Amino acid sequence: MLKTENRNGKAAVARAALALFAEKGVMATTTRDIARRAGVAEGTLYRHYQSKESLSQDIFRQCLEQFSSYLRQRVQAQKSTVGKFRVLVQAFFDFAQQEPANYSFVMFGHDAGLPLPAGSGAMPRDVVVELMRDGMEKGVFQLRDANLAAAMVIGALTRVIYFKQHGLIDEDYQQIVPQVAEACLRMISPEDIWATECC
């Protein structure tokens, strides 16, 4: 019974910490805040994590892996490179809507310089870079540097999401996503390719 309680306590701490980190940031969140939000004693946090920093790093890693896995699964279900790209854009927006705390903490973690997990494929960026590289090899995307193409695409997606979240864009997501996908395709592809579903 104690093991189950320990697992439940750890999950409650992690959920509370994620919500607070996404709202306030790591620095402004205290262990007392986390314990209060989780409904546990402050000492419970230290049974599961060495420090607030180790807790934030663990949550950051989990959020990155969840986001990456979500994007990868959605992209792999498509056959054409252009189809994969459009689904990638949709999935990016869907994750931000469906998992707002996870998405916000991924964005915050990058800005705050939290340590990134080692290993290829562990970050959402890796999914985008892989798709850019594959599209370049097939002649679908015209830029020569997959990281540059990924940076341009991710920059466009994250800024549109930011503007939408802060009430600066009135259109709903279903109207926004196709416009953003087409604009991004125009940045990285010749017109005769992005206008079709053939590649």
What is the rounded distance in angstroms from the CA atom of residue 178 to the CA atom of residue 133? 22
Whole-Å CA distances, 148 to 76, 133, 174: 22, 11, 27
What pLDDT, on the 0 to 100 scale, is given for residue 108?
78
Show the DSSP H helices in the chain as ranges: 2-24, 31-38, 42-48, 52-76, 81-98, 100-112, 124-137, 146-165, 173-188, 191-194
User: CA 51, 55, 61: angle at the middle one, nearest 5?
Assistant: 145
The pTM score is 0.85
- Find, among 131, 41, 46, the residue nearest to 88 by Cα: 131
Q: In this structure, are residues 88 and 75 in contact, taking their beta carbons and an 8 Å threshold?
A: yes
Instruction: Return averaged pLDDT per consecutive 10 residues of the chain, 199 residues in all.
Output: 50 92 89 93 88 90 92 94 95 96 85 67 87 93 92 96 94 93 90 53
Q: In this structure, are residues 29 and 21 in contact, taking their beta carbons and an 8 Å threshold?
A: yes
What is the rounded distance in angstroms from the CA atom of residue 94 to the CA atom of residue 136? 26
What is the rounded distance in angstroms from the CA atom of residue 192 to the CA atom of residue 174? 25
**Where do we find the tokens 């000492």?**
43
Residue 199, CB half-sphere, CA atoms under 13 Å: how many? 20
**185 exposure class (CB count in 10 Å sphere: 0-12, 13-18, 19+):** buried
What pLDDT, on the 0 to 100 scale, is given for residue 122?
72
What pLDDT, on the 0 to 100 scale, is given for residue 3?
35
pLDDT digits (tens, 9 = 90+) for 138-158: 989 988 899 999 999 999 999
pLDDT digits (tens, 9 = 90+) for 53-79: 899 988 998 999 999 999 999 999 999
